[in-house]
A = this chain, B = another copy of it.
Amino acid sequence: MKDVGVDVVSAQPVEALTADRVAVALRAAILQGHLMPGTRLKDVQLAAQFQVSRNTLRDAIRQLTSDGLVTTQLHIGSAVRILTEDDARDIYAVRRALETAAILGSSRATREQLTSISRAVNLASDANHNSRWRDVGTASLEFHQALVGLCGSPRLDAFFANILAQLRLVFSVMPDESEFQFEWVARDAQLASLILAGRRADAAAELDRYLESSEALIIDAIRASRAKAFPRRDSALIEGQTIQ
C-alpha cells in the first residue's frame, strides 16, 4: 500500500478542520504525482492511511472534487481526475481570458504586484541554471499566478490557483518534465520585461503566442500519453486501480 503522506497531515496547523488538513495532504499527493490520474480513492483505505474517520476523509475528497482534481460517480467512487484534451483546451481558454485581462489592466498595478512578478521570473531563472526542473515548472506557474495577481482580485487569484493546479495534473502524466520546461523560462522573462516596460499591447500579443505554443505542446503530449496508456483495446488494466 503506497504511502500518501500522513506526516503532511500532522504538519498542518492545529487550528484547522481535520478534513481540511487531509484535503491539503491529498491535494499535495496528487499534484506531486504520488497519486496518478485514474487512481481510485477508496475511502476506507485512505481513512486508514491518514488515521482519520471515514466521514472526514469523504469530506476531504468532496473538497478535491469541487476543486476539479477528483471525479466522483455515484455508487462507483472517486478517482484522481483524468483531464482530457477538451479540459486542457478549456484550461487554456481560461488562461487566455484571465492573463490577458491582467496584462491589459496592469496600468494600475501596485509596486508589490510588479516585484512579485520579477521575483517569480528570477526564481525560475535560478532554478533553470541549477537544473532543478521541477522548481522551474513551479516557478513558471507562480509567475503566471503573479500575472493574474495584477488584477488585485482575491477571487480571481483563488480561481486561477485552482486552474493552475489542474494544469499541474495534466503535467503529471507527461513523459518527463525535464526538458519540457526550460524553453519557457526565456519567454516568461521576455513577457515580464514587456509588462514592466508598460508595453501592454506587445505583452498581450506575446502572451497570445506563448499560450498558443504551450497549449499545442501540451495537447500533443496528452495525445501521446493517451496512445501510450491504451496501445490496444484489449490491454488489461494493471491492478484494477484505474477507472474509466
Interface positions of A (Cβ within 8 A of B): 15-17, 19, 55, 58-59, 62-63, 66, 68, 74, 90-91, 93-94, 96-98, 100-102, 104-105, 151-156, 159, 163
Q: Given A59-B59, A62-B63, A63-B66, A155 and B151 touching (CB < 8 A)?
A: no
Looking at chain A's contact residues, is the secondary structure mostly helix, strand, loop, or mixed? helix
Nearest Cβ distance between residue A182 and chain B, in whole angstroms?
A: 28
The answer to whether B98 and A97 have CB atoms under 8 Å apart is yes
With the chains together, A159 CA to B97 CA distance in Å? Answer: 13
19 A–B contacts, CB within 8 A, in A order: A15-B74, A17-B74, A55-B55, A59-B62, A62-B63, A63-B66, A68-B155, A90-B154, A93-B153, A94-B155, A94-B156, A96-B101, A96-B105, A97-B105, A97-B151, A97-B153, A97-B156, A155-B163, A159-B159
